[in-house]
């Protein structure tokens, strides 16, 4: 039975239940719970009939991991901000929800997001909101900069590791912020916030971005060393500078922030999503075919492209387009390890694992960034893969074929990797927990459908 996803249960039975006798009320409520869970369950799956090659072209959307810190950065800006090349994914919707609790209005029109911060209020950010999205942590640095105080629950995110925030908090304290962690909340007093020099113990992407924002409105010059160099950090620097900040060095070993009095509004175009681009490249490498991905920055995927060139697929780069052709079964890559940018990104590790699982040979893959990012392995095993995990290393023995199965997404990128496996496999694959995939990919089934895959949301 397919329930129309727009069916409004509350409308359907509101008012009626209270008119019924107590026993009947109880059974009505259990019907409601079943219907909602059935409907939610029904919407949250993808069904794929695999074995089809991919052909055509696809345009890559704005970068999730650039938009999310920028949506915290708007707290620093007083006025109207227009973000172009934005993307409608659940993580962005969660950040917009957080902004709305602070009286910041947002309105999406296609890929353009309009933001108005004129009525901003510094409100506590509750557990219910921060649990939905890891990027909520970026609000700390932004609120400290703008209001010199912040009160936010510990953030959530995908279960790929403990995801501590100690590097963020240590750096805030080094700039004079007083922090109390109590009952799952972080209370920050930034009255004594001052410029300073920070040397990170690890090039944390989030901590780098948090401190860039925190130092923006702090008098004096703050220098950050041991920083992450991801393109999304350069994008954040470009956004903040467009709004009046004085930041330099993003993408190098040292970022210098000269504090200014305030930031204003303006218009900014977000970079394209290199991880989504890499996902599509790995999809056509795995399934075979001939696909051109458009509106990308090829340089951002240099590490992936250099690995793919070892596998005998054909790659052509032309301005903001990358074309990949794969006719036969590809060769395994002997060794792959994930490292901070510009090396091979952890966010493409699961998708690469799917390719290696059907390549010819053996691949040893080391995951150096997150301690629990091999949750894909048991799901690929169900499909006939042959992978042995030893702590943070996976040895992938390529098999000629995968077989359709019922599998479950455990996190965003493992889910994206299962979609590729399902499109490659012989027979039908059903993927549950698709809400994880929707966190970072806009209408993923429509994109693959346009390339010839047999895939639908059920």
From 154-162, 291-299, 306-314, 320-328, span contacting ligand EPZ (CB under 6 A): 154-162
From 22-30, 120-128, 163-171, 399-407, span contacting ligand EPZ (CB under 6 A): 163-171
| Binding-site member from 129, 142, 188, 207 for ligand EPZ (CB under 6 A) | 207
Catalytic residue list: 158
CA atoms of 414 and 411, how far apart (whole Å)? 5
| Binding-site member from 51, 79, 161, 361 for ligand EPZ (CB under 6 A) | 161
Distance spanning both ends of the chain, measured CA to CA: 11
Residues in the chain: 458
CA atoms of 74 and 139, how far apart (whole Å)? 10
Does position 167 interact with ligand EPZ (CB under 6 A)? The reply is: yes
Q: Which is nearer to ligand EPZ, 347 or 445 (CB)?
A: 347
| Binding-site member from 65, 237, 272, 410 for ligand EPZ (CB under 6 A) | 65
Does position 134 interact with ligand EPZ (CB under 6 A)? The reply is: yes
- Name 375's bridge partners: none
Closest contact distance (angstroms) between CB of 328 and ligand EPZ is 31
- Axis-axis angle for helices 349-357, 412-424 (nearest 10): 20
Write out the binding residues for ligand EPZ, residues 2-31 only, by CB under 6 A.
Answer: none
x/- map, 295-334, ligand EPZ, by CB under 6 A: ----------------------------------------
x/- map, 92-131, ligand EPZ, by CB under 6 A: ----------------------------------------
Q: How far is residue 343 from each of residues 77, 112, 286, 299, 337, measured CA to CA in Å?
A: 33, 31, 21, 12, 9
From 21-29, 204-212, 352-360, 402-410, span contacting ligand EPZ (CB under 6 A): 204-212
| Binding-site member from 239, 370, 374, 448 for ligand EPZ (CB under 6 A) | 370
CA atoms of 277 and 283, how far apart (whole Å)? 10
- Whether 133 and 91 have beta carbons less than 8 Å apart is answered as yes
Closest contact distance (angstroms) between CB of 260 and ligand EPZ is 25
| Binding-site member from 86, 150, 233, 412 for ligand EPZ (CB under 6 A) | 412
Q: Which is nearer to ligand EPZ, 12 or 202 (CB)?
A: 202
Does position 274 interact with ligand EPZ (CB under 6 A)? The reply is: no
CA atoms of 408 and 411, how far apart (whole Å)? 9
Give 47's contacts (C-beta < 8 A, 6+ positions apart): 428, 429, 430, 431, 455, 456, 457, 458
Q: How far is residue 233 from each of residues 20, 166, 248, 426, measured CA to CA in Å?
A: 58, 19, 11, 41
CA atoms of 92 and 138, how far apart (whole Å)? 13
Closest contact distance (angstroms) between CB of 332 and ligand EPZ is 24
Does position 140 interact with ligand EPZ (CB under 6 A)? The reply is: no
Q: How far is residue 71 from each of residues 102, 106, 249, 337, measured CA to CA in Å?
A: 12, 10, 21, 31
CA atoms of 365 and 345, how far apart (whole Å)? 12
Nearest residue to ligand EPZ by CB is 206
CA atoms of 447 and 450, how far apart (whole Å)? 5
Q: Which is nearer to ligand EPZ, 228 or 405 (CB)?
A: 228
Q: Which is nearer to ligand EPZ, 91 or 445 (CB)?
A: 91
How many residues bind to ligand EPZ according to rule CB under 6 A?
27
CA atoms of 120 and 137, how far apart (whole Å)? 18
Chain positions contacting ligand EPZ, by CB under 6 A: 64-65, 68, 134-135, 158, 161-168, 202, 204-207, 228, 346-347, 369-370, 412-413, 440
């Amino acid at each position: 039975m397919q329930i129309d996803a727009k069916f409004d249960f509350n409308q359907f039975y509101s008012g009626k239940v209270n008119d019924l006798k107590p026993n009947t009320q109880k059974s009505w409520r259990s019907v409601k719970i079943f219907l909602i869970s059935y409907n939610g369950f029904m919407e949250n799956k993808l069904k794929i009939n695999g074995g089809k090659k991919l052909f055509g072209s696809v345009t890559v959307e704005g970068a999730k991991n650039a938009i999310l810190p920028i949506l915290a950065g708007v707290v620093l800006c007083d006025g109207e901000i227009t973000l172009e090349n934005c993307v409608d994914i659940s993580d962005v919707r969660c950040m917009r929800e957080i902004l709305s609790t602070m009286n910041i209005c947002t309105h999406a029109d296609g890929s353009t997001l309009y933001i108005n911060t004129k009525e901003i209020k510094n409100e506590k950010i509750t557990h219910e909101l921060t649990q939905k999205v890891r990027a909520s942590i970026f609000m700390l640095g932004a609120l400290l900069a703008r209001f010199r105080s912040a009160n936010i629950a510990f953030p959530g995110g995908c279960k790929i590791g403990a995801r501590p925030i100690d590097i963020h908090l240590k750096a805030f304290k080094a700039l004079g912020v007083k922090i109390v962690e109590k009952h799952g909340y972080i209370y920050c007093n930034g009255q004594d916030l001052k410029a300073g020099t920070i040397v990170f113990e690890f090039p944390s992407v989030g901590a780098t971005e948090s401190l860039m924002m925190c130092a923006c409105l702090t008098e004096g010059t703050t220098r950050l060393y041991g920083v992450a160099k991801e393109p999304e950090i350069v994008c954040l620097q470009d956004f903040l500078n467009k709004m009046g900040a004085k930041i330099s060095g993003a993408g190098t070993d040292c970022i210098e922030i000269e504090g200014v009095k305030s930031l204003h509004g303006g218009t900014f175009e977000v970079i394209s999503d290199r991880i989504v681009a890499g996902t599509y490249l790995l999809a056509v490498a795995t399934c075979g075919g001939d696909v051109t991905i458009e509106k990308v920055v090829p340089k951002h995927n240099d590490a992936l492209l250099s690995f793919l060139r070892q596998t005998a697929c054909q790659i052509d780069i032309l301005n903001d387009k990358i074309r990949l052709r794969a006719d036969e079964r590809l060769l395994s890559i002997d060794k792959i390890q994930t490292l901070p940018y510009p090396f091979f990104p952890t966010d493409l590790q699961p998708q690469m694992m799917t390719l290696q699982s059907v390549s010819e040979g053996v691949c040893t893959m080391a995951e150096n960034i997150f301690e629990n990012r091999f949750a894909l392995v048991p799901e690929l095993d169900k499909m006939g893969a042959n992978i042995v995990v030893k702590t943070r290393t996976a040895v992938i023995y390529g098999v000629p074929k995968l077989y359709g199965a019922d599998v479950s997404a455990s996190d965003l990128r493992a889910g994206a990797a299962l979609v590729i496996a399902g499109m490659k496999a012989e027979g039908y694959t059903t993927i549950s927990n698709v809400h994880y995939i929707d966190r970072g990919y806009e209408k993923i089934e429509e994109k693959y459908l346009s390339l010839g895959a047999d895939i639908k949301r059920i």
